[in-house]
Amino acid sequence: MNRPYIICHMVTSVDGKVTGDFLFSPECAGATELYYDINRRLRSDGFICGRITMEGSFTGGYYPDLSEYDPICYDDGLKKDFIPDAMSGFYAVAFDPKGRLGWKSNKIIDPDGDPGYDGAQIIEVLTEQADERYLGYLEAMKIPYIFAGKTEIDVQQALFKLKSVIGCERLLLEGGSVINGAFQRADAIDELSLVVAPVVADKDDKPLFTDGTFSAFGLVRADSINGNVVLNYRKNNCGA
C-alpha cells in the first residue's frame, strides 16, 4: 500500500453522531474513558485530526501575529514541503488547508499527560492557500509541513507523502465529522474502531462521516463494556 493503514477511532451516539454536547454528558463519560483507553492501546505512528478538532482539543483558537515572521517563497514560485531533520516517531497530523492553527510548541502538550497524545510531533498538512508568512512561522517553530492540493486537501496525496516522506505506516483518524467524511469518500479508511455511548444526539450534531458515500466493512469484534458497545470493523473482511 502506498499510504499508511488508517484506523478511524471515534466515540459515537447510538444514532451515529460524533459532535455536540452529548460528548460531555455524564452518560457519555464511560464511553469517553474507554475511547482514550483504546487510543492508548492501538499501536500507531500517530493520529490525524481536522482543523476544527485540533483547535478544540489543542490550540484553543490561538493564532500568531504573522507580521513577525518572514515569508517563505522560492524563485520558481512553488511552495515546498519542510521536513526538519530531527523528528520524533509519533505524530499529531493536522489537516489544516489554509494554515489557521496556531501552535505554541512543535509537540503536543496534553494537559493530562495522556501518553496517547502527549509529546506527539506536530505535522501540518496544508494546501497552497496557506500564507507564506504562516510557513515562516511554522519553520521558526520547527513544525514540519507538507502540501497536498491547491485549495482542498487531496487526502490520497497527503497520505502518500505521510508514508513516503515521513515514514508513517499506521495512523489513527480521530475526527471530526468533516475530515472523516473526506477520508471515507477518498476510500482511505481501512478500519473502524467505534465506542458507542448509550445516548441519542441532538438533531444538529454531525454524523460519523459528513457527506459519506456507500462502502462496506466486515465486523471483526463487538463487545459490551459497562453499558457501552465497542465495535471493530475492517475493510475487505466479510464478517471474520
**Residues near ligand NAP (CB under 6 A):** 10-11, 18-19, 23, 49-53, 56, 95, 97-98, 100, 152-153, 155, 174-179, 182, 206, 210
> Minimum Å distance from CB 86 to ligand NAP?
27
- Distance in angstroms (rounded) separating the CA atoms of residues 191 and 177: 16
Q: What share of the chain is helix, strand, coil (3-state, %, to 5)?
A: 25, 25, 50
Residue nearest to ligand NAP (CB): 176
- Straight-line distance from the first to the last Cα atom of the chain, in angstroms, rounded to the nearest whole number: 22
Measured CA to CA in angstroms, residue 114 lies from 37, 39, 106, 117, 237 at distances of 10, 10, 17, 6, 32
Do the Cβ atoms of 23 and 57 come closer than 8 Å? no
Between 233 and 238, CB nearer to ligand NAP? 233
> Minimum Å distance from CB 21 to ligand NAP?
10
Between 158 and 166, CB nearer to ligand NAP? 158
- Distance in angstroms (rounded) separating the CA atoms of residues 45 and 210: 25
> Minimum Å distance from CB 10 to ligand NAP?
4
> Minimum Å distance from CB 102 to ligand NAP?
12
Between 6 and 11, CB nearer to ligand NAP? 11
The H-or-E segment that residue 7 falls in is strand 5-12
Between 149 and 240, CB nearer to ligand NAP? 149
Question: What are the cell numbers at 6?
Answer: 488508517
> Minimum Å distance from CB 238 to ligand NAP?
26
CA 86 to chain centre: 22
Between 60 and 239, CB nearer to ligand NAP? 60
